[in-house]
């Protein structure tokens, strides 16, 4: 029997989401842009989901534009900002998702000015440098609210306070939506993916300003207020809306439950293993525990736990056949002895205490064998 501990990569779909997808496939087969009864039924499904997601986020439903996921939303947010004109800057940090960093690099190659701020060991950017950057001209700040690799959560209040007036703020909230409460005052653009909080893959959203015009990455038809052309993914959108509504009901209690499981798992690992450190802070994502084990390779840990029936992920990326520390691990200045042994454990609604018990035992055993073999 297997146990899944990789929710930050993709979550187990919520029952409400599965039911909504199935129902939408049966009842929402019309095109939402069609004027006949079947089209109107599909449109009603889309708009209900828009309201459900807006309610979870605490924003007007008019701000919600459906996309294929956070990668598309991040691209739309950054590419929609005219970063090639004079005296314009994109500011981000060194620990962002690749869809932000790679897009910023692509814009930089076309003449955009890009600043990639360093972060401290708590994952927070230098607010002084941020303030100076946003006072130097027209500026878009693009930051992740929660880091999917380590679980660090950005202090959004302090960040907003540091921004110069007129700064456009984009927040990648893919790992935060449905897991922690959001306060979006002062946030102009926000990206998310349904599959991170119990919805289906291949659907997400970009929250846009009601008053600030934002160009579309995809042009064509007038869908999504002419901000994202193409026929909407009705079934996926329905599943995302249902997942959002379920998360809104359960988030507070579920966050407490998962944080308790996370901390219990850490107590077991840290008491049984020498030279293991916790990268996820206590105030980090409640579902995430990222640890680093000295003298052990993360790919060996992932493979050993997979064979034991547990799905976890490595906090390192494979490059040219060798495990190298990820950009996040390097930016957080994790000690050299621990960089190669980073393992991310992420939980969700289907995670049980017995699964955590089993993972603790297996993790200790696999780490012990790996150290003896090293």
Confidence check: pLDDT of 316 > 50: no
Per-residue pLDDT, 80: 87
When mean pLDDT is compared across 41-50, 134-143, 170-179, 234-243, the lowest value belongs to 134-143
Please state which CATH class domain 15-247 belongs to. alpha beta
pLDDT of residue 82: 66
**Which whole number is the average pLDDT over 45-53?**
98
pLDDT of residue 318: 42
Q: Give the largest CA-CA distance in the chain.
A: 69
Structure tokens at 122: 């708590």
| Mean pLDDT, all residues of the chain | 93
Q: List residues with catalytic annotation.
A: 318
Domain limits, the chain: 3-10+252-373, 15-247
Would you state the pLDDT for residue 112? 87
Q: How far apart are CA 124 and CA 155, in angstroms?
A: 7
Per-residue pLDDT of 235-252, as tens digits, reads 999 999 999 999 999 999
Q: What pLDDT, on a 0 to 100 scale, did the predictor assign at position 216?
A: 83
Which of the following CATH numbers is that of domain 3-10+252-373: 3.90.1150.10, 3.50.50.60, 2.40.50.180, 3.90.1300.10? 3.90.1150.10
pLDDT attached to residue 319? 39
Neighbours of 305 (CB within 10 A): 23
**pLDDT score for 372:** 81
DSSP strands (E only) in the chain = 3-4, 64-67, 88-93, 113-117, 138-144, 168-172, 189-193, 204-207, 276-278, 288-293, 310-311, 313-314, 316-319, 322-325, 342-346
pLDDT at 86 over 80: no
Average pLDDT over residues 300-322: 79
Residue-wise pLDDT for 162-207, tens only, equals: 999 999 999 999 999 999 999 999 999 999 999 999 999 999 999 9
- Residue 368 C-alpha from the chain's centroid: 32
* Pairing, β 168-172 against β 288-293: unpaired
Q: How confident is the model at residue 143 (pLDDT cuts 50, 70, 90)?
A: very high
Question: What average pLDDT does the segment 306-333 reach?
Answer: 77
Which DSSP string corresponds to 75-138? HHHHHHS-TTSTTEEEEEETT--HHHHHHHHHHHHTT-EEEEE-B-TTS-B-HHHHHHHHTSSE
What span, in angstroms and rounded, lies between the C-alpha atoms of 347 and 329? 21
Q: What are phi and psi of 310, to 5 degrees?
A: -125, 125
Q: Which residue has the higher pLDDT, 374 or 235?
A: 235
Higher pLDDT, 316 or 38: 38
Query: Quick one: what percent of the chain has pLDDT higher than 70?
Result: 95
Measured CA angle at 190 (ends 284, 205), to 5 deg? 110
Q: Please give the pLDDT value at position 323.
A: 56
Cβ atoms 69, 96 nearer than 8 A = no
Kindly report the pTM of this predicted structure: 0.95
Q: Which residue has the tokens 């052309």?
A: 229
Average pLDDT, integer, range 8-28: 97
């Amino acid at each position: 029997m297997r146990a899944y501990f990789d929710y930050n990569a993709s979550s187990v779909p919520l029952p409400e989401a599965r039911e909504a997808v199935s129902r939408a496939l049966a009842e929402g087969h019309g095109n939402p842009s069609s004027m006949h009864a079947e089209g109107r039924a599909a449109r009603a499904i889309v708009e209900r989901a828009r309201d459900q997601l807006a309610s979870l986020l605490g924003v007007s439903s008019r701000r919600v534009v459906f996309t294929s996921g956070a990668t598309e939303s991040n691209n739309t947010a950054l590419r929609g900002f005219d970063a090639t004109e004079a005296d314009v800057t994109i500011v981000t940090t060194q620990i962002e998702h690749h869809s932000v960093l790679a897009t910023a690099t692509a814009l930089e190659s076309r003449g955009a000015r890009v600043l990639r701020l360093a972060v401290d060991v708590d994952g927070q950017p230098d607010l002084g440098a941020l303030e100076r950057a946003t006072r130097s001209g027209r500026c878009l700040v693009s930051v992740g609210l929660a880091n999917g690799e380590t679980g660090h959560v950005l202090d959004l209040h302090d960040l907003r306070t540091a921004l110069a007036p007129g700064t456009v703020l984009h927040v990648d909230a893919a790992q935060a939506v449905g897991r922690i409460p959001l306060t979006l005052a002062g946030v102009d653009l926000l990206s998310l993916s349904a599959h991170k909080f119990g919805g289906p893959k291949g659907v997400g959203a970009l929250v846009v300003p009601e008053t600030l015009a934002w160009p579309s990455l995809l042009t064509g038809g007038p869908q999504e207020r002419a901000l994202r052309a193409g026929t909407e993914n009705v079934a996926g959108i329905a599943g995302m809306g249902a997942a959002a509504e379920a998360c809104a009901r359960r988030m507070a209690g579920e966050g407490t439950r998962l944080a308790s499981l996370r901390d219990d798992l850490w107590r077991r690992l840290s008491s049984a293993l020498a030279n293991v450190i916790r990268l996820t802070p206590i105030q980090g994502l409640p579902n995430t525990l990222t640890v680093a084990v000295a003298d052990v390779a993360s790919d060996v840990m992932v493979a050993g736990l997979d064979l034991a029936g547990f799905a976890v992920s490595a906090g390192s990326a494979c490059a040219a056949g060798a495990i190298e520390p990820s950009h996040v691990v390097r930016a957080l200045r994790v000690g050299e002895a621990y960089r190669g042994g980073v393992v991310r454990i992420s939980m969700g609604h289907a995670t049980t205490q017995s699964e955590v018990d089993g993972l603790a035992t297996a993790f200790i055993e696999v780490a012990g064998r790996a150290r003896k073999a090293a």
